[in-house]
Amino acid sequence: MRFENDTVFITGAGSGIGRATALKVAREGAFVVATDINEDGGRETVDAVEDAGGDAAFHELDVTDADEFKAVVETAADEYGLDAMINNAGVGHPPAYTEDVTETTFEYVLDVNLRGVWNGCQAALPHLKSQGEGAIVNVGSLASFLGLPKQAVYSLTKGAVLNLTRAIASEAGRDGVRANAVCPGFIETPLGDQFFQSKRDPEKAKAETEKQYPLGRLGEPEEVADAIAFLASDEASFVSGHGLVVDGGFSVS
């Protein structure tokens, strides 16, 4: 098992890609530290892991609070250890032209999508460096590479996540720490559904989006979880600073 005796810390573990990742790595032997600002969702993930025969613990966490993030990581590292940090928590925003985005929306998306990943990296790095090994996987997006129309703030944050990942890979590699990003296209998650629900005809919007993908469908959370697990595992021991696109061929079509 790829994660036997390892501890994997996951943000945004209460649903979607985070929950799928928790289940994936737990099945492969990891102890999962599942965190989320949504306590009910986080505890449901822990229950699902345990029902599947795995081990996990839940910690409520607001990723935008640097002090809280560091405290939760320190507690988890002291109690369980820390081998991989998965910075998955993220939010979207309703489609809007750049000039129409409110300051409130701008600050909120920047706080969760960028500050949250920054906080996770800052909190994890001292522990990973001190033991001379470990992995960070940040969840970016197709928007890490492409500027999506009416998604300027989201594109801004996800582009920054990829470059932050590269910077950390460059500076922390000599301490035995790898950093990579997974960059999904549209995935069947609550966040993806939120985007479609903002449209006048959600079902039509989803069907039109599916047609843009060479594989003819949206991705499943488990497919992104597979990519995250690979990058967090020793199978990717010589992979660092990489943005792995998981988009069903959208970006090359």
Q: How far apart are CA 98 and CA 195, in angstroms?
A: 17
CA–CA dist 225, 231 (Å, integer): 10
**Contacts of 127 by beta carbon, 8 Å cutoff, 6+ apart:** 73, 74, 77, 82, 134
Distance CA 149, CA 158 (A): 14
Concerning whether 213 is annotated as a catalytic residue, the answer is no
* Nearest Cα to Cα of residue 181 among 113, 90, 87: 87
Q: Which of 80, 97, 154, 213 is catalytic?
A: 154
DSSP 69-137: HHHHHHHHHHHH--SEEEE--------B-GGG--HHHHHHHHIIIIIHHHHHHHHHHHHHHHHT-EEEE
> What is the layout of strands, in order, in the sheet containing 31-36?
55-60, 31-36, 7-10, 84-87, 134-139, 177-184, 243-246
Distance CA 201, CA 163 (A): 35
Helix H or strand E segment including 179? strand 177-184
- Which residues are catalytic, by number? 154
